Amino acid sequence: MVFSPSSGYPTHRPRRLRSHPRLRDLVREQRLTVDDLIYPMFVYHGKNVRREIASMPGQYQYSLDRLGDAVAEIAELGIPSVLLFGIPEHKDATGSAASHDSGIVQDAIRLIKKQSPELHVITDVCFCEYTDHGHCGPLTDRSGRLDVDNDATLPLLAEQSVSHAQAGADMIAPSGMMDGMVQAIRAGLDGAGFTHIPILAYAAKFASAYYGPFREAAESAPSFGDRRSYQMDPANGDEALREVALDLAEGADLVMVKPALAYLDIVRRVKDSFGVPVAAYNVSGEYAMVKAAAAKGWIDERRIVLETLTGFKRAGADMILTYHAPDVARWLRNG
Ligand code: PBG
Ligand code: ZN
């Protein structure tokens, strides 16, 4: 604050710009809109399933016959895009159900495209929901230690991506953090005639405890060990920039930082360094914390969520993947 030597009062008064609500609207730098939102959904095998996820109140696993109504509501709310996760009936060592032409996600894509063609459909491409061991690709023995076989996973990722594109997916989002995954998927899509399908790479994905509730939702918890040999160490920021640079060099069209809350410095650095579209994933544990505190009456859920998501935009996110999307769409519509 600058003080006028003659009067002793401040001459620079930022409060002037806060003096009228309409003026506050005029000088507001960021605006969260429904167009920023991507809604993640869990598609479950079987019939007549609409099961609430215990650690994610308000979020459900849907079987195909119950998915249509849920998706219609998302479209009606004006949410532009959904991200699909599939939970198949049969899991095996290589996650072979992931690439079946009539697999759970493939069928879900066709259903959504037929029923709500205005929705943009993104598919998460990984194997942890499809493998019986819950890791993000087939395993190999590395001197007595089982680890995901990076290079054996690459052609499988390409195959899964092509099968999603054939079913009608609009965008592919590989989340397994395998080295070379974007290049392999780009080559696979291009070879199958899907040169126009963009790749949203989970480029800086950290090995995070915030994924806990998701693993209940997707039934994808690893049966042994953890994901630290492929997901990033939460302590590493420079490495996140190297990961993003690699994914862009391999052909990623958009990049994601995940989780969001504890990694907003990464969002900002990625945006400033590369100037590409950046997505922030407001993950399951972030959602669960807000819902739990709100259920206790300890926080104002609406204000907390809008403040948080606006903070993601201020940090540089162009789009936000969030389980709060339907609530946010309603709040923004109704004021
Ligand atoms: C699978 C995947 C995960 C999430 C998105 N894709 C979980 C994981 O890596 O274990 C987490 C999403 C969330 O927590 O909301 N690779
Ligand atoms: Zn995975």
SS3 (DSSP) at 75 = helix
Question: How buried is 110 (Cβ within 10 angstroms: 0-12 exposed, 13-18 middle, 19+ buried)?
Answer: middle
Residue-wise pLDDT for 35-89, tens only, equals 999 999 999 999 999 999 999 999 999 999 999 999 999 999 999 999 999 999 9
Question: Is 296 known to be catalytic?
Answer: no
Query: Domain for residue 156, yes or no?
Result: yes
Query: Domain for residue 16, yes or no?
Result: no
Amino acid identity, position 66: R
Q: How many domains does the chain have?
A: 1
Instruction: Copy the structure tokens of residue 245.
Output: 């640079």
Mutate to test the pocket of ligand 1, among 210, 220, 320 (most ligand atoms within 8 A of CB): 220
| Candidate list 47, 113, 258, 313, residue with the active-site label | 258
Residue 128 beta carbon below 6 angstroms from any ligand 1 atom? yes
d(CA 2, CA 100): 67
Query: Domain for residue 24, yes or no?
Result: no
Distance 214 CA to ligand 1 centre (A): 6
Q: Which of 130, 174, 128, 181 is nearest to 153 (CA)?
A: 181
Residue 215 beta carbon below 6 angstroms from any ligand 1 atom? yes
Query: Domain for residue 271, yes or no?
Result: yes
Atom of ligand 1 nearest to the CA of 136: 16
d(CA 237, CA 4): 43
Q: Please state the pTM of the whole predicted model.
A: 0.96
- The enclosing domain of 296 has a CATH number of 3.20.20.70
Residue 124 beta carbon below 6 angstroms from any ligand 1 atom? yes
Distance 215 CA to ligand 1 centre (A): 7
pLDDT at 163 over 60: yes
**Max CA separation in the chain (angstroms):** 80
Ligand nearest to the CA of 40: 1
Query: Domain for residue 216, yes or no?
Result: yes
Atom of ligand 1 nearest to the CA of 176: 16
SS3 (DSSP) at 35 = helix
Query: Domain for residue 8, yes or no?
Result: no
Q: Which residues of 26-36 are buried (b: 16+ CB within 10 A; e: fewer)?
A: eeeeeebebeb
Amino acid identity, position 58: G
Instruction: Copy the structure tokens of residue 285.
Output: 């544990």
d(CA 90, CA 45): 9
Q: How far is CA 188 from CA 44, 123, 129, 136, 162, in A?
A: 27, 16, 21, 19, 7
| Candidate list 205, 271, 291, 313, residue with the active-site label | 205
**Residue matched to tokens 């969002």:** 267
Query: Domain for residue 21, yes or no?
Result: no
Q: How far is CA 34 from CA 56, 109, 327, 333, in A?
A: 21, 22, 10, 9
Query: Domain for residue 48, yes or no?
Result: yes
Q: Which of 262, 264, 198, 203 is nearest to 231 (CA)?
A: 203
Backbone Cα Rg of the chain: 21
User: Over the chain, what is the mean pLDDT?
Assistant: 97
Residue-wise pLDDT for 274-320, tens only, equals 999 999 999 999 999 999 999 999 999 999 999 999 999 999 999 99
Question: Is 258 known to be catalytic?
Answer: yes
Residue pair 125/99 in contact by the 8 Å Cβ criterion: no
